[in-house]
Amino acid sequence: MIDHTHDTSATAWVASANTGHTDFPLQNLPYGRFKRAGSQQDWRIGVAIGDQILDLKAAAQLGRWPTDIQALLHPLAQGDLNRFMAQGPAARKALRAALFDALRDPAQTGSANARALQAAAAQVLLPQDQAEMSLPCQIGDYTDFYTGIHHATTVGKLFRPDNPLLPNYKWVPIGYHGRVSSIGVSGQSFRRPQGQFKAPDAEVPSFGPCKRLDYELEVGVFVGAGNALGEPMSMDQAEADWFGIVLLNDWSARDVQAWEYQPLGPFLAKNFATTISPWIVTQEALEPFRTAFEHPPTDPQPLPYLDSPANRAQGGLNIELEVHLQTSAMRAAGQPAHRLMQSNFADAYWTVAQMLAHHSSNGCNLQPGDLLGSGTQSGPRPEQGGSLLELTQGGKQALTLPNGETRVFLQDGDSITLHGRCQREGAVAIGFGACVGTVRG
C-alpha cells in the first residue's frame, strides 16, 4: 500500500509544506470543508498543504486534469465530500495520486499540472488562518465505541475494584449510538450542560448545571462507501472501506452519567457537545504508520468475523495523542496551554476494521460520512489517562497547573486542545491539526 505518494524525498511547491514540523506536508493531503472567513462564499472542499488550503473548486476550474480526475473533482468542487466518499478506495487513491503530483515541486517531476497550479497559486490557495472551517462532510450517524482498554480498566476500577472489565469487553467491540446534531468542528464553544444527578448522600436527585464536566480523548473514523442493508462487511471489506480519521473530543457530564447510565447506557451526559478536528486524514496518508495488532495470548482471541491476516499484520495505527488545557486565567495572562497527558492509538483493544466489521455484522447499513468514535484513548500508566476522571482518580486528587490553579473537573472558560501526530523512521511525519473546544458558563 506504500506508493510514490509516500516518497520521503518529495517536496511541494508550497514552501510551508516542507518545513519538517508542519502537520500537513505533501505526504498528508487531508480533506476539509471551508470558505473564506467573513465571506458569502459557498462551502467548498479543500486539501490542507502546509499552512495553506488548496481550493478544489478553483483547482478543478483550471480544466487541466485528465478526464477521470476531473470527474472525481466534480463533487468536491460542489462542496460534497460525501459523494466522493461513496466512490470507494479506488477513487480515493486515484485522486490522492493526482493531487500529490499536482502539488509536488515541478522541478522534481516536470508536471504540467503542478506548473499550472503554481502559476495560479493566488487563485487556488487560501491561507488557513483566513479560512472558516465547518464539519468536513454531512454526518448521517454517529456511534461511539469503547476500544481504549486502559481507560475502560481504570474507570472500571473506580466502580468495580475487583472486576473492572465486564465479561463481554474482550469479546466484542462495545459501542452506543450518539447524537449527530451537537457535533461541532474545532473552535466549538458550548454551554455547560444541565442535567439530573444524585449526590451519594442525597435522598432525592436534583437538577442543575453539571459539576463534573470532563473531556475524552478519542479519534473519529469516517466511513467510506459503506454497505447495503443486510449485507455485513467482511474484515477485508471493512479495512478497504474506511475513509479517514479525525481527532474527537467526547465531552462528558460525569455526574449526570453516573445517575442515568443504567440500564440503557449514555444519554444526556454525552449528547450536548462533541468536537472534531476539521481535516480528515485519509487511510492512504496513514499507511506508513500501521502496526501489527494482536490481543495478548492469555486473552480471548477475536471471533472469525473480527479476524484476518491483514488485521493481525497491520491493523493497528501508531498515532501519538496529546491533551492540552488552557484556563481563562492562563489565556488572559498570555500563557500557553499546559499538556496534561500523552498516549497512542496503537494501544486500542480493537482496530478500525474491527469496529466497522462489527457495526455492520448484524446487517446494519453504514453510509458515506458516518462517524465512529474510538472511545477514550488512555495509556497504560496513570499519567496517561485520557480524561480528568482518570487523571484525578475519580475527582479525589486535584491537578495543579503551572500557574498554581487546580482542576478536578473543567471550569467555565477552560479550553481543551487535542493534538495527534504520526511519525516513524523512514516516513515523513504527518498530523491532524488542532481539535479545540471551550466551555462557556
pLDDT confidence band for 441 (50 / 70 / 90) = confident
Instruction: Please tell me the distance from the alpha carbon of residue 120 to that of residue 62, in angstroms, as a whole number.
Output: 9
Q: Which of 133, 162, 186 is the last residue of a domain?
A: 133
The residue written with cell numbers 466511513 in the block is 223
Instruction: Find the mean pLDDT for residues 293-302.
Output: 97
CATH number where 359 lies: 3.90.850.10
149 and 38 in one domain?
no
391 and 323 in one domain?
yes
CATH number where 29 lies: 2.30.30.230
Query: Do 350 and 424 meet the contact criterion of CB atoms below 8 Å apart?
Result: no
Q: Which of 133, 153, 180 is the last residue of a domain?
A: 133
Please write the tens of the pLDDT for every residue from 52-91. 999 999 999 987 899 999 999 999 999 999 999 999 999 9
317 and 345 in one domain?
yes
Instruction: Find the mean pLDDT for residues 320-325.
Output: 98
76 and 163 in one domain?
no
Positions annotated as catalytic residues are: 151
pLDDT confidence band for 328 (50 / 70 / 90) = very high
Q: What letter would DSSP give residue 88?
A: -
pLDDT confidence band for 1 (50 / 70 / 90) = confident
339 and 410 in one domain?
yes
369 and 221 in one domain?
yes
Instruction: Find the mean pLDDT for residues 184-196.
Output: 98
Does residue 387 register a pLDDT over 80?
A: yes
The pLDDT value given to residue 320:
98
DSSP codes joined into one string, 365-427: ---TT-EEE------SSGGG-SSHHHHTTTTTSPEEPTTS-EESS--TT-EEEEEEEE--TTS
Does residue 163 register a pLDDT over 90?
A: no
303 and 175 in one domain?
yes
Please write the tens of the pLDDT for every residue from 147-157. 999 999 999 99
Q: Which of 133, 157, 188 is the last residue of a domain?
A: 133
Share of the chain above pLDDT 90, in %: 95
User: Using omega within 30 degrees of 0 as the cis cutoff, is the peptide bond preceding 209 cis?
Assistant: no
Please write the tens of the pLDDT for every residue from 10-58. 999 999 999 999 999 999 999 999 999 999 999 999 999 999 999 999 9
The letter for the amino acid at 105 is D
Beta partners for residue 344, in sequence order? 320
- Residue range of the domain that includes 398: 142-440
Task: Quote the mean pLDDT of the chain.
Answer: 97
Based on the structure, what is the number of domains in the chain? 2
pLDDT confidence band for 193 (50 / 70 / 90) = very high
Please write the tens of the pLDDT for every residue from 278-293. 999 999 999 999 999 9
Instruction: Find the mean pLDDT for residues 289-313.
Output: 97
| Cell numbers describing residue 102 | 499536482
Does residue 197 register a pLDDT over 90?
A: yes
Neighbouring CB atoms inside 10 A of 381's CB total: 11
310 and 244 in one domain?
yes
Instruction: Please tell me the distance from the alpha carbon of residue 164 to that of residue 289, in angstroms, as a whole number.
Output: 31
Query: Do 363 and 227 meet the contact criterion of CB atoms below 8 Å apart?
Result: no
- Of 2-6, 261-265, 369-373, minimum mean pLDDT range: 261-265
The pLDDT value given to residue 49:
98
402 and 283 in one domain?
yes
195 and 93 in one domain?
no
Question: In angstroms, how far is CA 117 from the centroid of its own chain?
Answer: 30
Please write the tens of the pLDDT for every residue from 202-232. 999 999 999 999 999 999 999 999 999 999 9
- Of 58-72, 83-97, 177-191, 358-372, minimum mean pLDDT range: 58-72
370 and 315 in one domain?
yes
pLDDT confidence band for 159 (50 / 70 / 90) = confident
Instruction: Please tell me the distance from the alpha carbon of residue 261 to that of residue 271, in angstroms, as a whole number.
Output: 13
Label each residue of 129-184 as H, E or C.
Answer: HHEEEECCCCCCCEEEECCCHHHHHHHHHHHCCCCCCCCCCCCCCCEEECCCCCEE
The pLDDT value given to residue 109:
84
| Cell numbers describing residue 241 | 472501506
The pLDDT value given to residue 33:
98
Does residue 111 register a pLDDT over 90?
A: no
66 and 167 in one domain?
no
